[in-house]
Structure 1
Amino acid sequence: MKNAFVIVTLSGLLSACAVAPTPHAPALAGSAADAQADAPAPAATAEPLPPAAEVLAEGERASAPDEPSPDLKLPHVALTKEMLYKLMKAELEFRGGTWQGPYMTLMALAQQTRDPRLAQRAAEMAQAAQKGSEALAAIRLWRELAPESDEAGQYYIAASVMADDLGEAGELFAARLRDAAPANRGMAMYQIQQLLTRAKDKAAAGALLERLLAPYIAMSEARVVLAQSAYARGASDEALAHAQEALRIKPDSEIAVLTLAQVSGEQGDVGSLLAKFLAANPGAREVRAALARILVTQKQYEPARKEFLALLKEQPDNPGTLYALGILSMQLSDPAAAETYLAGFITALDKNPGDERDPAKVLIMLSQLAEDRGDLAAARAWLGKIEPEDAPAWFSAQLRSAQLMGKQGDLDGARAFLGALKAEEPAQQVQVVLVQSQVLRDAGKIDEAYAVMEQGAARFPSNPDLLYDFALLAEKLGRVDVMEKNLRMVMEQAPDNHHAYNALGYSLAERNVRLDEALALIDKALKMAPSDPFIMDSMGWVQYRLGNLNEAEAHLRRAYALRNDPEIAVHLGEVLWHKGQKSDAQQLWREARAKDPKNDTLKSTLARLQLKL
């Protein structure tokens, strides 16, 4: 199981300090905002040191530093023309990709003027260039010039840890814990733990953490941090002991129970642990989200949906919960509910334009759900919401929209739509050809579809996907020579394409010709994809044609067990019929008819055997 909470990252810590250091509550993983993710997530590895408060931000502002903090003591130095020129030149050069010259300029000016903001900017430049020693030198100067600056202290601690200078960092950490208000001390522990993850000497960092927290071992937060540290280095028993003690100290702590869940191991026990905690603390949202995700991983979809519904009741517009419920409803074959929740997800994103989640995948799912219930106009409307900025998804949506237009009966409109679609890349042009052909096939214009594919194959003779589809269409029209030629071209261009071997082998078996060659082709395909039920079906069919009824039955039964497909049922039924198991054969054919009343294979089989169901 993954980590139970997300500790404040280094970048978050320093960004906060760049404004004003204020205490924050630790953020728990598994929030409903990301309810579809696995729960709980591991402690985040800290990001590289980010720029602090911008002094001369990206050249977009004037070159003078920001308004200083009221508590920051600044020297009285006039901004001369020469100094202004040097500052602007340094910023422009830095924006152009050079760091060393601007860094040295800022360091020299900081030493000359004793202005800590210039040392801070030099530190930011070195950090952006990933120059650790230069960054530490600038931060030392910054701290020397502004010893009262908590922000400079934060940067210095972080840089010291990354440079494995744990001695002085340890003293600063100890002072921070000692001076913190009791209500804020737990948060300070999480911050220190996160900072120490950046140390190269993990053993030394772990030992320092234990020494720092020893005076506060009676705090639940200290036990949580020690549990996390022990778990990270593989000391499972120690981690478990600390986590259990953390929960004993504070029985209603979500972070403690989630940490215990993380280090406990077996998911079944974890589910029971979280369920018991929820019974005593029904408002523990993060724990409920974690339990819901565990139930999903255990494929207990209905209980998982119940937990997500409880989360949704508290926050009806939470996108993550709506998404999770939509996916679960699809798993539970409840398309109406899936459509409701996924539509709610889109509405929630519309209300929060700052949300960075990509709606394209959900819009495609909503389109498919609408199509499945016969509302083609709604299906196209959902696709129309995909933004052109999401180029791959948008292009796929245009292709699908054209197909839906054709299904609505507007064949001319669909063809015109595809003709106007700008496909710049060869792969996109191939997709357009395939969809043009499919639209014509859906409209029953097979000959026109063939002509489109024939032209496409001439334009793109090295595209295996197009050649494969062209081969299958050629077979439908009885042009087996064209089919075989194109399938062999696919085999030559993509020797690992098992579909091509299977298609040619099955075609030979279906026509009852060159059966030994058919067997060899299908056997090769089956070795490439031994779990593919359709290749198993082909193997069963060629064995039937060879007169090996028992082998045929064995392959077809395996295929039907994996894929309850009407065509496999028809083939298995014919084998059983010829083995004298006529009642079983008819039952299979009835099942096939119930699933696909217009199935051509079933019709041709019954006609050939002169049977009626």
Structure 2
Amino acid sequence: MVDAIGDKMHIKKKSLLNAVKLYSHYYNRLLLVKTIRHSIKIKRSGRFNMDSTKSFMMNVGQHTKYFALIGLTSLITACAATPAQQSKATVDEAQKVVKAAPEVKEEKKPEVTMPMSPELMYYILTAEVAGQRGEVGAAVELYERAADMVKSPKLAGRSAQVATLSRNEEKINHALDRWLEVDPNNADVYMMRAPFLMMEKDYDGAVQAINKALSLAPENQKLYLARATENLAEVASPEEALATLKKLDLYKQGHPDAHYAYARLAFFYQQYPETLAEIDPLLKADPENESYLVLKADTLQRLGKTKEGVKLLAKPAAKDDASDELRFTYGKLLGDDGQLDKARTIFESIQADNPENRDVLFALGLLALEEKDGEKAKSYFSDLLRLGDPTNQAAYFMGIAEELNANVDAALVWFASVPVQSSRFDLAQTHYINLLLGRDDIDKAREHLAQLRQQLPNKALQYYLFEASLLRDHGMKQEAFDLLTKAIKHYPKNEDALYSRAMIAESMDRLDVLEADLRQILANDPNNSQALNALGYTLTDRTDRHQEALKLIQRALELKPGDPFYLDSLGWVYYRLGDLEKAEKYLREATEANPDSEFIAHLGEVLWQRGKKQEAKKIWDKGLLQDPDNTLLIETMRRFGL
């Protein structure tokens, strides 16, 4: 059976309990984002969308967008009339009403109701309708006009929100400038501007904006620092992000919140020694701070020092007032340390206090799977699905549980229901296909992969390669060859497809196809050492073009010196050329670097031909002990009467 989807088609088995870390990381990050009212999520491509508690735009990333009329009434009553109709006193009163940021809670009663000009009302209402229809550009333009008409911080803030959805740098800057003009002391303006400065690589400008926001609203210090690290993690390299945080005034002043934010960002970038360098002084000054303890324990675990992490949290976790987060981290470390019973006790204790803790349900479900208890695992993951699974992983593990219960039909349903956006989607497809293959239903497996190629065209090549590997492993070489030929028509220069077909062609004695495909790879990438070696070895083993093969293999070794597979090829081509001394030299180097059965077969043959028959037999016997069913080794020994 095929063990995984991907180029290598294999994955290493990991402890299921380690998945708790992944689930907890994404879930906690999701909660962080939900607490940010004006968080701008910026992709490396430069695209971004507003994520706010009362977002007026739904499904921004889709072609059809819906405009929600949330807060429209308070927005209209907070806007002044046209400049010609205003008096200074009226404007002053309006500013009192709309002093808050654009997403503050709706006032039950505005302090004053102001006259609306028909023109201003038209712009606002038409902008809302345009947004409801998905006409973002029109909404941006109309809100910009409205915001420019009156000095309304709330309207200017709304205009800035809409502008961020346009992906138009000029419109965004204009809207933010206007908001800043009418409300220069609103910290949110500066925090909204910071990520755009980061996108432009103006990190000094971003630092100034964040510093200003922190000085204007020190009560939001932790929130703003969290938002800054979130934005930096999205758009900056580790070096740029960490350097930017170090430039903040609060960091330079040694403020714990800033140093903790830096430590968390260093942890995110897997710079664990740097994390410890930041967190240790914080713990020295505040040894009972649970956030510091949790971060250090997680860092120790990532460094392979789980026992130290367990020791660090043992006493704090035993306290009656220990938080769920600290106790959960302690349980996670216990599980990683193999203390599954203690871990379960901790998780069950947290669940007793908080039955709807998703992290704990996930952890208990994984523990049940680790112990092969499919029914108990189903119970936990069912609860998780009932509560809502923000990381879309529960369906996958429900499938695993049903596999344990030998309920294949149910497992197939669960694996098929794993959503595309889940990090477990590809693994779910692997299990789905393997279950079908277990039933010898290869036709249905192929049909499923064909459907995936249609539904997910961006992954079509991946599924072509997966199916080709499946067919090859089932001895259906011609079908695999034909499928890859079809894939190459769609992806004529893809090296993986060309290489895969070349290898299948070799097994079918289609050396013309093999050479054409490998030379196509080399035409696109002359320094592809894998293709150089594959072609050189094939010419050595299957033709008399040994001098040509020698040059190819030597070039491969120049690109990857010491590679044992290339050394084996070099030794074999020298054997074919009759230079047994060099052949033995390179084959010994290959075998010492990697005692592969094929290398052993080759070395033994060269030694036999050099009259070192006892040594050859000894090496072959050793090879059979480690790989008794190796065809090449058995056939080689048989050729020499053994």
Task: Compute the TM-score of the two structures, normalised by the length of structure 2.
Answer: 0.58
Equivalent residue of 1:306, what SS? coil
Corresponding position: 1:60 with 2:60: no
- Decide whether aligned partners of structure 1 residues 520 and 243 sit closer, same or farther in structure 2, where only a CA change above 3 A counts: closer
Residues 1:551 and 1:343: Cα distance change in structure 2 (over 3 Å): farther
Residue 102 of structure 1 deviates from its aligned partner by 1.8
Cα displacement string for residues 408-467 of structure 1 (whole angstroms, at most 9, x for unaligned residues): 544665666677776599997777776676565545455666677678778976555444
**CA separation in 1, counterparts of 2:337 and 2:530?**
38
- Look up the match of 1:254: 290
Aligned counterpart, 2:177: 133
> Is residue 102 of structure 1 aligned with residue 118 of structure 2?
no
Q: The residue matched to 2:288 in structure 1 has which SS?
A: coil
The code of the aligned residue for 2:315 comes to A
Measured on the aligned residues, the alpha-carbon RMSD in Å equals: 6.2
Contact 2:306 2:336 in 1 (8 A): no
- Specify whether residues 196 and 516 from structure 1 end up closer, same or farther in structure 2 by C-alpha distance, changes over 3 A only: closer
Report the alpha carbon displacement of residue 505 of structure 1 after superposing the two structures with TM: 1.7
Deviation at 1:495, TM superposition (A): 2.7
Find the counterpart in structure 2 of residue 306 from structure 1. 338
Residues 132 and 601 (structure 1), Cα distance of their counterparts in 2 relative to 1, 3 Å cut: same
Corresponding pairs, count: 520
TM-score by length of 1: 0.60
Consecutive unaligned residues in structure 1, runs of 5 or more:
1-29, 144-152, 177-187, 214-221, 234-238, 296-301
| Shift in alpha-carbon separation, 1:503–1:360, aligned structure 2, 3 A | farther
Tell me which amino acid in the other structure corresponds to 2:222.
Answer: Y
CA distance in 1, matches of 2:190, 2:461: 57
User: Which residues of 2 match residues 139-150 of structure 1 at below 5 A?
Assistant: 139-140=183-184
Alpha-carbon separation, structure 1, partners of 2:211 and 2:335: 51
Most deviating of 515-524 and 161-170: 161-170
Shift of 1:602: 1.6
Match of 2:412 in 1: 381
2:73 maps to amino acid: A
Mapped pair 1:87 → 2:124 = yes
The answer for the alignment partner of 1:536 in structure 2 is 567
Letter paired with 1:97:
G
The aligned counterpart of 1:571 is 602
Quote the sequence identity (%): 25
Number of the residue aligned with 1:476: 507
Quick one: distance in 2 between partners of 1:376 and 1:261? Answer: 39
**Could you list the per-position Cα deviations for residues 213-236 of structure 1 after superposition, in whole angstroms to 9, with x for gaps in the alignment?**
9xxxxxxxx545467679999xxx
Report the CA distance between 1:608 and its aligned residue.
Answer: 0.9
| 190-199 or 533-542, larger mean C-alpha shift | 190-199
Instruction: Write out aligned runs for 1:52-451 (5 A).
Output: 59-61=67-69, 63-65=72-74, 69=106, 73-77=110-114, 84-92=121-129, 95-98=135-138, 99=140, 101-106=142-147, 108=149, 117-118=154-155, 120-122=157-159, 124-125=161-162, 129-130=172-173, 131-140=175-184, 155=188, 158=191, 164=208, 172-173=216-217, 190-191=222-223, 205-206=248-249, 210=253, 223=256, 225=258, 246-257=282-293, 274=309, 276-283=311-318, 304-306=336-338, 313-315=345-347, 350-357=385-392, 381=412, 384-385=415-416, 387=418, 389=420, 405=436, 408-410=439-441, 423=454, 441-444=472-475, 446=477
| Structure 1 residue 90 displacement after superposition | 3.6
1:354 CA drift (Å): 4.0
Separation in structure 1 between the aligned mates of residue 533 and residue 40 of structure 2, nearest angstrom: 52
- Paired with 2:620 and 2:366, the residues of 1 have a C-alpha distance of 33
Q: What is residue 17 of structure 1 aligned with on the other side?
A: none
| TM-fit CA distance, 1:97 | 1.7
Which amino acid in structure 2 is aligned with residue 523 of structure 1?
A: Q
Cα deviation for residue 515 of structure 1 reads: 2.5
CA distance 1:224–1:527, change in 2 (3 Å)? same
AA paired with 1:76? T
Q: How does 1:588-603 map to 2 (within 5 A)?
A: 588-590=619-621, 592-594=623-625, 596-603=627-634
Contact preservation (8 Å) 1:288, 1:307? no
Report the counterpart of residue 14 of structure 2 in structure 1.
none
CA displacement at 1:355 relative to structure 2: 0.9
Q: Distance in 2 between matches of 1:595 and 1:326?
A: 38
